[in-house]
Amino acid sequence: MQTERKETDILTIEEIAEWLRVTPSWVRAHANKNRRSFLPGFKAGKYVRFERGTVRLAVAKGQKEQETS
């Protein structure tokens, strides 16, 4: 039984990739802050993690920017 996800859930690269329906390598590339469109994450030791709500906001912001371009 899968538990309900919350906006404050901390997700791995693989979980973000599954949620966004992209590859883990795409997530890694877009977690790089030097890219124009990036996914906001944070380091937990040697691992990169993402907060669900923060990623949701970043995706929404990216969609708005595409609509206005």
Q: pLDDT for 7-53, tens place per residue?
A: 679 999 999 999 999 999 999 988 877 766 688 999 999 999 999 99
Number of domains in the chain: 1
Q: Does this model's pTM top 0.85?
A: no
Task: Give the structural domain span for 59.
Answer: 10-68
Q: Are 27 and 17 in contact (CB under 8 A)?
A: yes
Q: Tell me whether residue 21 is in a domain.
A: yes
Q: Give the angle subtended at the CA of 44 by the CAs of 39 and 46, to the nearest 5°.
A: 95
Q: Which helix (H) or strand (E) holds 11?
A: strand 10-11
Q: Tell me whether residue 29 is in a domain.
A: yes
CA 16, 20, 23, 24: dihedral to nearest 10 degrees? -10
Q: Tell me whether residue 2 is in a domain.
A: no
Which two structure tokens, joined as six digits, stand for 53? Answer: 């709500």
Q: Tell me whether residue 5 is in a domain.
A: no
CA atoms within 13 A on the CB side of 66: 8
Q: Tell me whether residue 33 is in a domain.
A: yes
